[in-house]
Amino acid sequence: MELIDQLTNLASRVQKQLAHIQTEEATKTALVMPFINALGYNVFDPTEVVPEFICDIGTKKGEKIDYAIMRDGMPIILIECKRVGGDLTINNASQLFRYFHVTEARIAILTNGSTYRLFTDLEQPNKMDERPFMEFDLFNFQENDVAEIKKLSKPSFNIEDMLFAAHNLKYMRAFKRYFDEQFTQPSADFINFVSKQVYDGVLTPKLKDQFSALVHRSFHQFLNDKITMRLRSAMVDTNSSMLAPELPPPPATEVAGLTAVESDDKEIETTVEETEGFMIVRAILRKMVAVNRVVMRDVQSYCGILLDDNNRKPICRLHFNGSKKYVTMFDVEGGERVNITSLDELYELATRIRAAVQRYEKKPEQAPAE
């Protein structure tokens, strides 16, 4: 099974258990050990994973780290755990700092089971950086996140490749954080820089105020235009035969109480938002299944997205026609309503969308009802 599928399964499985995970030991058992196992390391083989790894520090003997992942008898990755929801700030990483300094490991992970912060020693040899070069969220990850995490896995681990990736990720993370800040609230320096690229005159206070609003609006419009263009391009490239014919919804008994059967004489109109939402779901699933297996079936009350054009395999339903948008998720039996305010929030549901498909891929299809 691919790593992305294993992580999706893990996230889906433990989502319902989170309220019962109250201690650090429970976090290790329910979350951290399965995560290590997904990376290909046998948590029950002490030649691969050593719990309570002893790190003697000067006169302090018997200092222990929660887990050390081993290769050829030497630690290559150190893992320090906190309970689910625990604080992962640098103030709670003092143990990891000390252990990193006295072992041969070049990669350190601080985790609370749901968030994994990865550190190395890019700034000063043999001294763990204060800022992580990557952060992985088990309950909200993208495909590119998994591609980077995979470099830690047993089949792929190479310290030189990992350090090269860490260097790039560290600065990409900083750049993205800066862009996010400017996108949300452009700084005076950023506005001045952009303004000088398009205006040769003197930037008076009045002009700066005008340009401040224009830069902010232009930034948002530029990104929205880019997203729209990519979605339209994807729609043009998509074979129209992949879209299912407009058929009536399944009987109410198939998904108890979630939808009503509409009359056949109402006109059905597929909106641009519904089509864009469909393309986003396809993009999320493209590494799991062939895109032509992900099918849109629009009906009067919602836009359904199915696997294999099968009513018994709903992935999600887009309810975009009312005053409040929401999505029905099918990673749980019977479906669950999730309110959203924009299409971008579909990406935040990526793990649950993958989990819905994973449910159907794991079990044989039921025979149609008589």
Question: pLDDT tens digits for the chain (370 residues)?
Answer: 789 989 998 998 888 888 889 899 999 999 999 999 999 999 999 999 999 988 655 555 667 889 999 999 999 999 999 999 888 887 777 778 887 877 888 999 999 999 999 999 888 888 888 889 999 999 888 888 999 999 999 999 998 888 888 888 888 888 888 888 888 888 989 988 988 888 888 888 888 888 888 888 888 888 777 777 766 665 555 544 444 444 444 443 333 333 333 444 456 778 888 888 998 999 899 888 888 899 999 888 889 999 998 988 999 999 998 888 999 999 988 889 999 988 889 998 999 999 999 988 875 544 444 3
Residue 48's pLDDT is what?
96
Residue 231's pLDDT is what?
64
Asked whether residue 249 falls in the same domain as residue 162, the answer is no
Can you tell me the distance from the alpha carbon of 352 to that of 243, in angstroms, rounded to the nearest whole number? Answer: 23
| 106: Cβ contacts below 8 Å, ≥ 6 apart | 76, 120, 121, 159, 162, 163
Boundaries of domain holding 167: 3-176
CB 305 within 8 A of CB 314: yes
Whether residue 191 is contained in a domain is answered as no
Can you tell me the distance from the alpha carbon of 337 to that of 317, in angstroms, rounded to the nearest whole number? Answer: 9
Residue with tokens 């793990």: 351
Residue 236's pLDDT is what?
56
| 178 to 182, 183, 187, 205: CA distances (angstroms) | 6, 9, 10, 25
Asked whether residue 14 falls in the same domain as residue 160, the answer is yes
Asked whether residue 163 falls in the same domain as residue 270, the answer is no
Please indicate, yes or no, whether the overall pTM of this predicted structure exceeds 0.75.
no
Residue 29's pLDDT is what?
94
Asked whether residue 259 falls in the same domain as residue 150, the answer is no
Whether residue 205 is contained in a domain is answered as no
> Which two tokens mark 300?
């009067």
Asked whether residue 29 falls in the same domain as residue 167, the answer is yes
Can you tell me the distance from the alpha carbon of 206 to that of 217, in angstroms, rounded to the nearest whole number? Answer: 17
Annotate 280-292 with DSSP letters as a single string. HHHHHHTTTS-GG
Residue 259's pLDDT is what?
34
Whether residue 112 is contained in a domain is answered as yes
Asked whether residue 158 falls in the same domain as residue 27, the answer is yes
Asked whether residue 164 falls in the same domain as residue 24, the answer is yes
Single residue among 176, 196, 214 that ends a domain in this structure: 176
Whether residue 8 is contained in a domain is answered as yes
| 175: Cβ contacts below 8 Å, ≥ 6 apart | none
Asked whether residue 159 falls in the same domain as residue 15, the answer is yes
Can you tell me the distance from the alpha carbon of 25 to that of 82, in angstroms, rounded to the nearest whole number? Answer: 9
Strand partners, 111: 81, 116
Can you tell me the distance from the alpha carbon of 95 to that of 225, in angstroms, rounded to the nearest whole number? Answer: 47
Single residue among 125, 152, 176 that ends a domain in this structure: 176
| 104 to 78, 99, 118, 283, 362: CA distances (angstroms) | 10, 10, 16, 40, 41
Whether residue 231 is contained in a domain is answered as no
Whether residue 49 is contained in a domain is answered as yes
Single residue among 176, 193, 211 that ends a domain in this structure: 176
| 316: Cβ contacts below 8 Å, ≥ 6 apart | 281, 305, 327, 328, 329, 330, 349, 353, 356
Whether residue 129 is contained in a domain is answered as yes
| Total domains, the chain | 2
Asked whether residue 169 falls in the same domain as residue 31, the answer is yes
| 107-111 and 74-81 beta bridge pairing | parallel
Asked whether residue 108 falls in the same domain as residue 251, the answer is no
| DSSP code for 30 | I
Residue 61's pLDDT is what?
61
Inter-residue long-range contacts of 88-94, CB under 8 Å, 24+ positions, other chains counted:
88/112, 88/115, 88/117, 90/130, 90/131, 93/119, 93/128
Residue 56's pLDDT is what?
59
Q: Helix 272-285 and helix 205-237: axis angle, to 10°?
A: 70
Residue 92's pLDDT is what?
76
Asked whether residue 157 falls in the same domain as residue 261, the answer is no
Asked whether residue 25 falls in the same domain as residue 127, the answer is yes
CB 302 within 8 A of CB 318: yes
Q: Which amino acid does the sequence have at 285?
A: L
Whether residue 216 is contained in a domain is answered as no
Can you tell me the distance from the alpha carbon of 43 to that of 318, in angstroms, rounded to the nearest whole number? Answer: 41
